[in-house]
Amino acid sequence: MDREEFLNTYWRYYELLETDFKNSIRYVSLDEKNYNTFSVEYARLLQAICSEIDVLFKELCSCLNKKGNNISDYADILLKNDSTIPDRIIYLKMYHRGFEICPFKNWKKGNAPTWWGSYNEIKHHRKENMQKANQKNVLYALAGLFLLENILLKNI
């Protein structure tokens, strides 16, 4: 894969997801006080973002000539190759405020990020877990996707 293929296949889709999130903050301000605000739109975004994260995980594993099927496999494969992923911070500045997000904090085999667990709970039991479709989980998942996009870009 070359840079142009990466842009067309992955980055443009990321940009659409990011735009959707930015549009959501027209209605719910990006603020720690609103992190627990949940909605059907956040459920849709979390599902789309995490589905794309799964695609990126598979692509990154493929770059290492490995095959992963779930978050535990991905941790085993990717963290052996780059143990700094759980410590990487995404810096976000919006509306003259700064946010530091560590989307994969404490990620290791057998311990998925909180937002990933929420994604799976919503995917399998939406009715009981709708409150987990919240601003914080979407923000952290989007930051995770951004980080993976950058890792993949460096690999090509």
Q: How far is CA 117 from CA 25, 28, 70, 134, in A?
A: 23, 23, 12, 13
Neighbours of 63 (CB within 10 A): 15
Instruction: Report pLDDT digits (tens) over 68-127.
Output: 999 999 999 999 999 999 999 999 887 778 889 999 999 999 999 999 999 999 999 999
What's the confidence (pLDDT) of residue 155?
A: 86
Considering the chain, what is the average pLDDT of its residues?
95
For 93, counting Cβ atoms within 10 Å of its Cβ (0-12 exposed, 13-18 middle, 19+ buried), the class is exposed
Write down the pTM of the prediction: 0.95
Neighbours of 94 (CB within 10 A): 12
What's the confidence (pLDDT) of residue 45?
A: 98
Q: What gap in Å lies between CA 102 and CA 97, rounded to an integer?
A: 17
DSSP-derived pairing of the beta strands 97-101 and 90-94:
antiparallel
Q: What gap in Å lies between CA 24 and CA 107, rounded to an integer?
A: 27
